[in-house]
Every structure is written in structure tokens, then in C-alpha cells.
Amino acid sequence: MQTTYLDKEPGRDEVAAWTGPTLLEFGTAWCGWCRAAQPKIAQALEGHPSVRHVKVEDGSGRPLGRAYRVKLWPTLVFLRDGEEIAKLVRPQEAAEIAQALAQIDPAA
């Protein structure tokens, strides 16, 4: 599990080219909702070691967050081979995150 937000976000074309399962997490280090979600995200990711986890610091005018229509933090976007499969906004339970992870990483 990635623990820090990227200083420089990847481009939309770069993300679309990624292969395999990926969890894009949009938020900020100072966001209370984001901090509260961290243990739930970590717990859900334990069963999915092959999932790439990318934390993207989001904010006004950030193109990647706008491309995924992020409006609230944290927003979790679940990708398989660069294609969006599921999205969760402010997830409340590790089980709902795990369920979305199973959609992109069914072999786990």
C-alpha cells in the first residue's frame, strides 16, 4: 500500500496504458475523511498484493481528478488494464473496498 500522495500526478494517457489491476486513490494528506479511510483501504488491500495502489493528491484544476469526475475525497477508482471498473466515494467499510477490489483482481 502506498502511504504518501504523489507530488506529480500521472497523465490520463499514462494511466490508460497501465496493465493489470490498479487502485487510484484521490484525496489529500490533510483531509479528515481521507485519513479515516486509510485503515479500511489498508485492510482491503491486504488480500490483493498484485494491485497497484496510487495515491493522487487532488485539488481544484488537477486534470486527472477531473478526468475521473472526482468531487469528494477520498474517491477510489478501480481500474483493470487502464479501464475504470468501479468507483467508491468516501467508503465507509473495508468490505465495500474489498468487493470493488475483487472486481479488478478476481484471482486474489
Could you report the per-residue pLDDT of 4-60, keeping only the tens digit for each?
999 789 999 999 999 999 999 999 999 999 999 999 999 999 989 999 999 999 998
> Would the CA dihedral through 23, 24, 29, 35 be positive or negative?
negative
The pTM (predicted TM-score) of the whole model is 0.95
Q: Can you read off the three cell numbers belonging to residue 22?
A: 490498479
Tell me the C-alpha distance between 17 and 95, whole Å.
Answer: 28
CATH number of this structure's domain 12-104, picked from the four choices 3.30.950.10, 3.30.300.30, 3.90.870.10, 3.40.30.10: 3.40.30.10
Are the CB atoms for 21 and 48 separated by under 8 Å? yes
Domain ranges (residues) in the chain: 12-104
Q: How confident is the model at residue 42, as a pLDDT?
A: 96
One-letter-per-residue 3-state SS of the chain: CCCCCECCCCCHHHHHHCCCEEEEEEECCCCHHHHHHHHHHHHHHCCCCCCEEEEEECCCCCHHHHHCCCCCCCEEEEEECCEEEEEEECCCCHHHHHHHHHHHCCCC
